[in-house]
Amino acid sequence: MPSRRSFLAMTAAAPLALPARGATRPVRLVAAERPATLPGRSGTSPLWTYGGDWPLALSVRRGEAFEAVLENRLADHTSIHWHGVRVPFAMDGVPHVTQKPVEPGQDFTYRFSPPDPGTFFFHPHCDTMQALSRGLAGVLIVEDPREEGLFDADHLLVLKDWRVRPDGGFEPFSTDAGAARAGTFGGLRTVNGAAAPALKAPPGARIRLRVVNIDPTRVPVLELAGAEGRVIATDGNACAPFPVQGWALGPAMRAEIAFIQPARPGAEVVLRDVWGQEAFPLARIITEGAARGADRRPLRLPEAELPEPQLKGAPVIEMSLLTGHADPKLEAWMKETGMSLDALCLSERIFWSINRRAWPGMSHEHLPPPLAELKSGRSYVIEMLNGTPHRHPMHLHGHTFKVLGSNQRRLPPHWADTVLVEPKERLRIAFVAGEPGDWMFHCHIIEHQETGMMGYFRVS
């Protein structure tokens, strides 16, 4: 389990941890409003959390049975999507599509055995802009026995901004101006709930940073100053190490970074975001304590073990990411069935679309056509074409895909569940279609998702 410092003063009880191996006691995730004080604020903010520390981190071993009971103590329905984990369809946490919404006062038990090691996260899948903005998310670390002893220190860094006033009250989470462009940004930037936290590490220590971007909007461009940092895993999946410098971490993306802590006491390694005019420090790691022995093993993870797509003969399906407009077919369908936008987790505003459709996930009884129909076990190439002036971190549920390449830039070969598509870019991914079901495919700038940039692939 990576170490983690929690900075928010929570009113909740003891931190959550998983039961000892072999035990069957499930984790309880009690979704509720819990006021907490954010850095530099004079009063508390009405956060929504799952209880315990913030950020909340759970860990489980690869392949081991995991059980979590979600208890809903919020005023509206909720569910949990296990982002990036190749879960069975019924555990994917999309209301109306994979399960009934969990109503206030009700609970739902999630059970699965995570097949892949790595750093994942979880969050609701309706009213997500509000929920994520208030902090309702957690990290799931899937441990791999093959990684034991590879690192001297393992730190979790959870990136999230807050739209919060000096008195602690929240500002409106979404604005039309933001939703129709790059998103509505939070002014208070935090890592693990703190402003640029400082960690300590012994000279020569082998460090692993698990950087998780749970922000619904911001795309930091990472840089590690003071040490030679390499990305060793993308979205939790091991990759051939490549330099951190310039790696853009879109909403929902994770990057694991490995480096050797410099020997000089007091030396500082700084993880920063170099997107803006001035580099913004995210976290510092300061050399302190007794030197570590010279472990010369390469700083990399055992290779990812994922279904390898067969590219030869694989159908190529195009997904055009476009701006949106109201869909007359959707409107007619809603009139006919009496479905409301609310029940569909959809906002009235439509700014975005995929293949000219601005469609959310709908109820199973009245399902609109999928974006694509796939056969379980077959390989597919999806070519995404960004016809908008903004970047979109595109996420596919329940699958880990291979990023094949772009017509615009050199990308290191890597596995992902969320990939940034730049304006005018054509980017190809490939994967083996998994378990039958309707798997959501959407932008993870949540305001884009909620204003049209969402659909699903039907696997049968």
Indicate whether 252 belongs to the interface with ligand C2O (CB under 6 A).
yes
Indicate whether 214 belongs to the interface with ligand C2O (CB under 6 A).
no
Shortest CB 408 distance to Cu ion, Å = 17
Q: Which does 392 bind (CB under 5 to 8 A by kind): ligand C2O, Cu ion, none?
A: Cu ion
Torsion over CA of 372, 422, 136 and 59, rounded to 10 degrees?
A: 80
* Binding positions for ligand C2O, 343-402, rule CB under 6 A: 395, 397
Shortest CB 448 distance to ligand C2O, Å = 12
Q: Which does 252 bind (CB under 5 to 8 A by kind): Cu ion, ligand C2O, none?
A: ligand C2O
Reply yes or no: is the peptide bond before residue 124 cis, omega within 30 of 0: no
Give whichever of 228 and 383 is closer to Cu ion, judged by the CB atom.
Answer: 383
Structure-block tokens of residue 217:
């909007």
Give whichever of 432 and 453 is closer to Cu ion, judged by the CB atom.
Answer: 453
Indicate whether 125 belongs to the interface with ligand C2O (CB under 6 A).
yes
Give whichever of 207 and 454 is closer to ligand C2O, judged by the CB atom.
Answer: 454
Q: Which does 125 bind (CB under 5 to 8 A by kind): ligand C2O, Cu ion, none?
A: ligand C2O
Shortest CB 122 distance to ligand C2O, Å = 8
Shortest CB 252 distance to ligand C2O, Å = 5
Q: Select the residue whose beta carbon is closest to ligand C2O and give its number.
A: 83
* Binding positions for ligand C2O, 76-115, rule CB under 6 A: 81, 83
Task: Identify which range of 10-18, 236-244, 333-341, 440-448 contacts ligand C2O by CB under 6 A.
Answer: 440-448
Q: Which does 83 bind (CB under 5 to 8 A by kind): ligand C2O, Cu ion, none?
A: ligand C2O
Shortest CB 395 distance to ligand C2O, Å = 5
Contacts to ligand C2O by CB under 6 A: 81, 83, 123, 125, 252, 395, 397, 440, 442, 444
Interaction site with Cu ion (CB under 5 A): 392, 443, 445, 448
